[in-house]
Amino acid sequence: MLLHEDTSFACYSLPGSTNFELIQGEILKLPICELPNESGFLIAEFENNRQAYFLSCSTKKTNPTFTFDATHNFNMVNITESNYLDLCKDYITYCQLNLSKIVLSRIKTIPVSLRADRLFHAFKNAYPNAFVYLINSTEFGTWIGATPEILLKRKFNQYTTIALAGTKPLIGNTQWTSKEKNEQQLVTDFILDELKNLKIEANSVGPTTVNAGNLQHICTQLNFKTETERCKIINALHPTPAVCGLPPREAKEKIMTSELHSRELYTGFLGPINFDNKDHLYVNLRCLKANNKQLHIYAGGGITADSNPMDEWNETELKVQTLLGVIEKL
pLDDT at 212: 77
Are residues 26 and 56 in contact, defined by beta-carbon separation less than 8 angstroms? Answer: yes
Tell me the three state secondary structure of residue 198: coil
- pLDDT digit string, tens, across residues 203-214: 999 899 988 777
Q: With a cut of 70, say whether residue 305 has pLDDT above it.
A: yes
Helix, strand, coil % (nearest 5) of the chain? Answer: 25, 40, 35
- pLDDT digit string, tens, across residues 207-262: 999 887 778 889 999 999 999 999 999 999 999 888 999 998 999 999 999 998 99
- pLDDT digit string, tens, across residues 37-74: 999 999 999 999 999 999 999 999 999 999 999 988 88
Give me the chain's average pLDDT, please.
93
Q: What's the mean pLDDT in 6-12?
A: 97
Burial of 231 (0-12, 13-18, 19+ CB in 10 A): middle
Burial of 172 (0-12, 13-18, 19+ CB in 10 A): exposed
- pLDDT digit string, tens, across residues 35-46: 999 999 999 999
pLDDT at 217: 87
Tally of CB atoms within 10 A around 264: 20
Among left, alpha and beta (phi > 0; psi -120 to 50; other), residue 141 is: left
Q: What are the boundaries of each domain within the chain? A: 2-327
pLDDT at 187: 86
Confidence of residue 77 (pLDDT cuts 50, 70, 90): confident
Report angle CA 116, 118, 124 to the nearest 5 degrees: 105
Q: What's the mean pLDDT in 263-281?
A: 97
Tally of CB atoms within 10 A around 75: 4
Q: What's the mean pLDDT in 318-322?
A: 91
Classify domain 2-327 at the CATH topology level.
Answer: Anthranilate synthase (3.60.120)
Tell me the three state secondary structure of residue 293: coil
Q: With a cut of 70, say whether residue 111 has pLDDT above it.
A: yes
Q: With a cut of 70, say whether residue 173 has pLDDT above it.
A: no
Tally of CB atoms within 10 A around 3: 20
Contact residues for 24 (Cβ-Cβ < 8 A; gap 6+): 7, 8, 9, 57, 58, 59
- pLDDT digit string, tens, across residues 122-171: 999 999 999 999 999 999 999 999 998 999 999 999 999 999 887 778 77
Q: What's the mean pLDDT in 92-112?
A: 93
Contact residues for 119 (Cβ-Cβ < 8 A; gap 6+): 134, 144, 290, 295, 327, 330
In this prediction, what percent of the chain has a pLDDT beyond 90? 79
Q: Among 70-84, 169-183, 297-311, where is mean pLDDT lowest? A: 169-183
